[in-house]
Amino acid sequence: MAKEKILVTGGAGYIGSHTVVALVEAGYAPVIVDNFSNSEESVLDGIASILGQSAPCHRIDCNDAAALRDVFAQEQDIAGVIHFAAYKAVGESVEQPLKYYQNNVGSLVTLLQVMEEYKVYNLVFSSSCTVYGIPEQLPVTEQTPVQKANSPYGNTKKICEEILEDLSKTDSSIKSIALRYFNPIGAHPSAKIGELPLGVPSNLVPFITQTAAGIRQQLTIFGDDYDTADGTNVRDYVHVVDLAKAHVTAVARMLQGKVADIEFFNVGTGRGNTVLEAVQAFEKATGVKLNYKIGPRRAGDVPKIYADVTKATEVLGFETTSTLEEAMKSAWDWQLSLQKKAKQEA
Ligand code: NAD
Ligand code: WQD
């Protein structure tokens, strides 16, 4: 039997590339669509080296309806789509909101229109725990109220969820699963793919690994006066390989026809860790001492959030297979492999 073809928009990105690997390992045939606005072609080599086979890739922009149509026409029998393609820098979205609404909301609308034209009815969408804002109760379940977003980026995720919900109330045949990721970290155990932040990272883990590697001088921990165990923010750090597998089971559920209209799932570990605990986990896992200082709070930070993952566990069979230390070790191995590559190229 032919393998089911899954279109993966943003498949050359951080979470997308790990998901492409997981899809192939689970017996699917992923087809990547990416405009490489936030990724590099070398990611495709990493994927090919892990799998021993390359993944087909169309270099197009998801806002380009004609180009998307060509892909659907060429590939013909696409069974479902995972839509990762989006911009994700929270700070930049505050500076350039239209860029974010255009790319994140615009690309979803275009994609849905083309899916309808080509009668492709299964969509897994990348959402985010950012839709919960500052939650009143922890851990957050899928029933926890969605709040007004505190950045244009966050708002694009909220609007995209609303678009999918609105569509599910029509006679459209499109079904969707929105996965609300908590904080994805780490890299593939081969260290052949991982996160590739452009410029100075704003996320914690790439900043930690770049500091440990001497690329950044010092990590600033944004505030230690929150109402948490050690005063630093609490987050739910989920290994990207575990997160990737959640997409595979979400796709399987869709293809089995089990999704009536739209479903939402939290994907985290169910554990909250402080920033200081994350730093300690990094130091313990790698044996590298990190140069850090406590600085002022960062505007817009949620003091404390972590997931209740009961629904994903029960319905998707989601599992957390690695500890925070293991995830940190994989992020470090990836950083070291980047350094090695940079040296070889110099
Ligand atoms: P990423 O930037 O590494 O990957 C996104 C990929 O999409 C990149 O390869 C980029 O080149 C591509 N892309 C962007 N716009 C495109 C367009 N218009 N057409 C074609 N390709 C386009 O990001 P990621 O961390 O892998 O995130 C994937 C998705 O998950 C995004 O939707 C993001 O908002 C969401 N998400 C990420 C996090 C996180 O912390 N990484 C958390 C929650 C949700
Ligand atoms: C984690 C913790 C910081 C950097 C963001 C988006 C969210 C989602 C995931 C996509 C926080 C602290 C960080 C540093 C620090 N993305 N920190 N020093 O803010 O939880 O979430 O990425 O949907 O929408 O907002 O992730 O990695 O930036 O921060 O102390 O240099 O690390 O204050 O507590 P965040 P992060």
Mutate to test the pocket of ligand 2, among 83, 100, 222, 238 (most ligand atoms within 8 A of CB): 222
168 close to ligand 1 (CB < 6 Angstrom): no
Percent of the chain scored above 90 by pLDDT? Answer: 97
Mutate to test the pocket of ligand 1, among 18, 38, 107, 160 (most ligand atoms within 8 A of CB): 38
**Tokens found for residue 70:** 């060509």
* 293 compared with 343, residue with greater pLDDT: 293
Q: For residues 156 and 149, what is the distance between their CA atoms, to the nearest angstrom?
A: 9
Q: What are phi and psi of 228, to 5 degrees?
A: -135, 175
267 close to ligand 1 (CB < 6 Angstrom): no
Half-sphere exposure of 289 (CA within 13 A, CB side): 2
C-beta of residue 185 within 8 angstroms of C-beta of residue 327: yes
272 close to ligand 1 (CB < 6 Angstrom): no
DSSP readout, 155-207? HHHHHHHHHHHHHHTTT---EEEEEEE-EEE---TTSSS-----SS--SHHHH
Q: Which residues form the pocket of ligand 2, taking CB atoms under 6 Å from any ligand atom? A: 88, 90, 128, 130, 154, 183, 202-204, 207, 219-222, 233, 235, 275, 298, 301
The region, left, alpha or beta by phi > 0 then psi within -120 to 50, assigned to residue 114 is alpha
DSSP 304: B
pLDDT at 29 over 90: yes
126 close to ligand 1 (CB < 6 Angstrom): yes
pLDDT value at residue 328: 98
- Residue nearest atom 1 of ligand 1, based on CA coordinates: 13
pLDDT value at residue 71: 98
Q: What are phi and psi of 252, to 5 degrees?
A: -60, -45
Residue 289 Cα, ligand 1 centroid: separation in angstroms? 31
pLDDT at 272 over 80: yes
> Before 197, cis peptide (omega within 30)?
no
Average the pLDDT over 224-253 and give the result.
98
Q: Which residues are paired to 8 by β-bridges?
A: 32, 82
Q: For residues 257 and 261, what is the distance between their CA atoms, to the nearest angstrom?
A: 10
Distance of CA 64 to the CA centre of its chain: 22
Alpha-carbon separation of residue 17 from 93, 193, 303 (angstroms): 24, 7, 30
Average the pLDDT over 305-332 and give the result.
98
153 is catalytic: yes
pLDDT value at residue 1: 72
- In residues, how long is the chain? 346
pLDDT tens for 170-203 read 999 999 999 999 999 999 999 999 999 989 999 9
Per-residue pLDDT band at 122 (split at 50, 70, 90): very high
**How many Cβ atoms from other residues are within 10 Å of residue 43's Cβ?**
25
Ligand 2 atom with minimal separation from the 128 CA: 23
Per-residue pLDDT band at 2 (split at 50, 70, 90): confident
pLDDT value at residue 4: 97
pLDDT at 310 over 90: yes
Q: Which listed residue (28, 100, 121, 153) is catalytic? A: 153
pLDDT at 307 over 80: yes
Mutate to test the pocket of ligand 1, among 14, 44, 100 (most ligand atoms within 8 A of CB): 14
pLDDT tens for 38-68 read 999 999 999 999 999 999 999 999 999 999 9
pLDDT value at residue 150: 86
pLDDT value at residue 101: 98
Closest ligand relative to 100 C-alpha: 1
Percent of the chain scored above 70 by pLDDT? Answer: 100
- Taken in order 63, 17, 260, 310, is the CA torsion positive or negative? negative
Per-residue pLDDT band at 243 (split at 50, 70, 90): very high
Question: How do strand 29-34 and strand 57-59 relate by DSSP bridges?
Answer: parallel
pLDDT tens for 96-119 read 999 999 999 999 999 999 999 999
- Residue nearest atom 28 of ligand 2, based on CA coordinates: 203
pLDDT at 276 over 90: yes
Q: For residues 306 and 237, what is the distance between their CA atoms, to the nearest angstrom?
A: 9
pLDDT tens for 199-217 read 999 999 999 999 999 999 9
